[in-house]
Amino acid sequence: MTQLQGKRIVITGAASGIGRASCLLAATQGASVVAVDQSEAVTQTRDEVIGAGGNAIAIQASVADENAVNSFIQSCVDEFGGIDGIYANAGIGGGGKPFLELTPEDWQRTLGVNTIGVFLCVKHAVPHFTAQGSGSIVCTASVAGLRANAGGVDYSASKAGVISIAQTVAYQLYGTGVRINAICPGLIETGMTAPIFDRARTRGTEGRIGQVNPTARFGQPREIAEMACFLLSDAASYVNGQAIPVDGGLSASHPWVYPQHG
C-alpha cells in the first residue's frame, strides 16, 4: 500500500507499542517518519524502519516540553523538506491510584503529557499546515475519555481533554484545509497495559482479557496504527473533528455481562 506515499509525518510515543507500530506502517506506506519519544529506545524504532526499507529519523524528546516540541516539528521540515501530518500519540497511564489518593503532582504529570503534550504538538504543527493549506493531525485519546471504568480519574480526564481538543480545534481551523481527529483505543497490548496482562497470565485468566467487548479479545498496536495511517492519509479527506473508537465494540454498549450457558 502507498496511501502515505511522499508524506512527511511526525509520530510521538514512537519507542514502543502503538507509536512504533505506526512508524513502521506509515513508512511501509511510503511516508518519511520523524519518530519521537522520551526513551532512547526510539532509535530502535528508527533502525527497524530503515531495516525494512523505510525512511526515518529518531529524536529523543518530551512532548511536555514546548521548546522540544517546536524543535522536533522543525526537524521534520529541515530533514524532509516539510511536514504533512503529525500523530500526537505519546501518553502515560496516570497516577494509578484511587482518586482520593491522587495528588496535584499526579494530575500535573498526567495532564502534562497526555493533554498538554497533545496541545503543544497541535500548536506547533498547525502554522506549517495552514501555510500550505493542508495537513492532518491525529491524536491518541482513549475509550476512557468517552465513558467510565476504563482508567483512573486523572487518566480518563486527560483523554477526555484530548477528545475536546480534536473537536474544538477542528472548528478553529475552519476552512484552512487542515484536519484533526482523535483515536480512542480500547484494551491494546502495549507496555502501558502490561501490568493487566501480567496479572492475568499469573492467575491463568489470560483468555478472559477483552471478553467484555463483542469481538471477545484485546487489540494489538498494529490495529490502532491502521486507523492512524488512514486518518493521516488523503483517503480520510472528509473525516474531521471526530473521536473514533477502535475498541472491538466496547464503547457501543452499556454495561453488559456475557450470558453463561449450560
> What average pLDDT does range 154-171 have in this prediction?
98
Within a domain: 230: yes
Q: How far is CA 8 from CA 29, 248, 259, in A?
A: 11, 30, 48
From residue 194, alpha-carbon distances to 87, 200, 219, 230 in Å are 23, 10, 13, 27
Which of 173, 185, 189, 187 has its CA nearest to residue 241?
173
Cell representation of residue 150 = 476504563
Mean pLDDT, residues 57-82 taken together: 98
**pLDDT band at 199, cuts 50/70/90?**
confident
Q: How many CB atoms lie within 10 A of CB 149?
A: 9
Query: Residue 47 falls within a domain, yes or no?
Result: yes
Can you give the chain as a three-state secondary structure string? CCCCCCCEEEEECCCCHHHHHHHHHHHHCCCEEEEEECCCCHHHHHHHHHHCCCEEEEEECCCCCHHHHHHHHHHHHHHHCCCCEEEECCCCCCCCCCHHHCCHHHHHHHHHHHHHHHHHHHHHHHHHHHHHCCEEEEEECCHHHCCCCCCCHHHHHHHHHHHHHHHHHHHHCCCCCEEEEEEEECCECCCCCHHHHHHHHHHCCHHHCCCCCCCCCCECHHHHHHHHHHHHCHHHCCCCCCEEEECCCHHHCCCCCCCCCC
User: Is residue 258 situated within a structural domain?
Assistant: no
CA 63 to chain centre: 12
- Is residue 182 one of the residues assigned to a domain? yes
Report pLDDT for 130.
98
Distance of CA 157 to the CA centre of its chain: 16
pLDDT reading at 134 higher than 60 = yes
Residue 256's pLDDT band (cuts 50, 70, 90): low
Q: Report if residue 248 sits inside a domain.
A: no
96-110 pLDDT, tens digit each: 889 999 999 999 999
Q: What is the mean pLDDT of the chain?
A: 93
For residue 37, give its domain range: 8-243
Give per-residue pLDDT as tens, 206-216.
777 767 888 98
Please compute the mean of the pLDDT values over residues 146-172 and round it to a whole number: 95
Cell of 119: 496541545
> Which pLDDT score, from 0 to 100, does residue 89 have?
98
Which residues lie closer than 8 Å to 77 by C-beta, 6 or more apart? 83, 128
Query: Number of folded domains in the chain?
Result: 1
The x, y and z cell numbers of residue 50, run together, are 530503515
Question: Looking at the predicted structure, is the pLDDT value of residue 144 above 70?
Answer: yes
Look up the pTM and report it: 0.93
Other C-beta atoms lying within 10 Å of the C-beta of residue 200: 15
Cβ-count burial 239-250 (b if 16+ within 10 Å, e if not):
ebebbbbbbbeb
The answer as to whether 105 is a domain residue is yes
Q: Which of 87, 155, 171, 174 is catalytic?
A: 155
Cα separation of 206 and 242, whole Å? 32
pLDDT of residue 78: 98
C-alpha cell at 23: 512508524
Is a pLDDT exceeding 70 seen at residue 258? no
Q: Does residue 94 carry a pLDDT above 90?
A: no
Residue 238 annotated to the active site = no
The predicted structure's pLDDT at residue 77:
98
> What would the pLDDT profile of 171-193 be if each residue is shown by its tens digit?
999 999 999 999 999 989 777 76
User: pLDDT at residue 8 above 50?
Assistant: yes
Mean pLDDT confidence for 191-200? 69
- Which CATH number do you get for residue 172? 3.40.50.720
Q: How confident is the model at residue 225 (pLDDT cuts 50, 70, 90)?
A: very high
Residue 198 pLDDT greater than 90, yes or no: no
pLDDT of the residue at 206: 72
pLDDT at 175 (0 to 100): 98
The pair phi, psi for residue 23, each rounded to 5°, is -60, -45
Whether 262 has a pLDDT exceeding 50, the answer reads: no
